[in-house]
Amino acid sequence: MVYDENKVDKNHYPVLLLHGWPSSIREFYPLIHKLHQTHLDKKNKYIFNVVAPSLPGFAWSQGASKVGLGPVQVAVIMRNLMLRLGYKRFFIHGSDMGSLVASHMATLFPENVLGYHSNLCAVFTERSLVKGFINAVKSNIFGAHGFEANFLPHWEPIKHLIEESGYYHLQATKPDTIGAVLTDNPIGLAAYILEKWSSLTNRKYKESANGGLSERFKLDALLDNVMLYHLTNSIITSSRLFAETHSQQQRELQMDWVPTDVPTGCARFKHDLIHFYDNQLKDKYRNLIHSKYYSNGGHFVALEMPQLLYADFIEFVKKVEKFSSSLAWF
């Protein structure tokens, strides 16, 4: 579908989907299909032009030839991509590392981002972490709707975070080492990646036969995702993004402290690795107009429960329309 800005009304929007690690655009296939099929539903007034690129260093998107390509720089690249495609204003949905890139886009380019939606909203500032401890003591007054036990600093989520974040520390400090181990080793690569799809979908799955992977996913889809890393030899370049995220250059930008006024929507799914309360998120996302908690679902919800994520995104778009029309943004 060719995009013509002069013919686009408030029912017709471009949407940028940004994946994370160890995911890929393959995770978004069911969601892309649903977004493309909205015009077939007579009750749905939306038409979406979907753009779902691989992040730099992932799959067929070339990795950096020198150091310094962190999430902020990737945000600039993704914004330039949308402009070159003719999309001057657009929605973004981000998951995992893609959520961080999307957040930076909303912060740096509010004139281009209609709304930022994510299933992994986070703010890692000292103030946010202090609020997290206060929330744990006064959890009954912050509207977590039965999610209180999923928030830090309760012991169970702390234990789960420690158990499941070893890969993160490794890739943030020694990405080339683990990358070299997994390159040309498809069995090892599959084990390394699929283990995350098991434990981050539901922590109980690691006690099941085959990691419970068949509980929520089709094996073909999971292997498609593994093969995207293997065939393109991108495990090293994708892992380097973790190291770049925690480089001194990125830390000095203090992006979590820079407020974002773009309308923001956060969907929290019970079995994800980490959650933040609204009062933590609002320090940065000053227009957090959509916040929901779901009693099921995990980290890779776009593939696990695409209908639920799709419905949440549509609800967010409607709230953005109402919010932004009152400000004459549309």
pLDDT in tens, 234-277: 999 999 999 999 999 999 999 999 999 999 999 999 999 888 98
**Ramachandran angles phi, psi of 201, nearest 5°:** -90, -40
> Are residue 211 and residue 241 in the same domain, yes or no?
yes
> Are residue 170 and residue 307 in the same domain, yes or no?
no
Is 6 a residue whose pLDDT tops 90? no
> Are residue 133 and residue 24 in the same domain, yes or no?
yes
The per-residue pLDDT for range 49-98, each reduced to its tens digit, is 999 999 999 999 999 989 999 999 999 999 999 999 999 999 999 999 99
CATH code for position 66: 3.40.50.1820
The whole domain housing 20 covers 5-158+254-326
> Are residue 209 and residue 97 in the same domain, yes or no?
no
5 Cβ neighbours under 8 A, 6+ residues apart: 86, 88
Structure-model confidence comparison of residues 322 and 135, the more confident one:
322
Last residue of a domain, one of 192, 220, 245: 245
Q: How many CB atoms lie within 10 A of CB 1?
A: 10
Closest CA to 39 of 16, 15, 3, 11: 11
> Are residue 79 and residue 103 in the same domain, yes or no?
yes
- Structural domains of the chain, count: 2
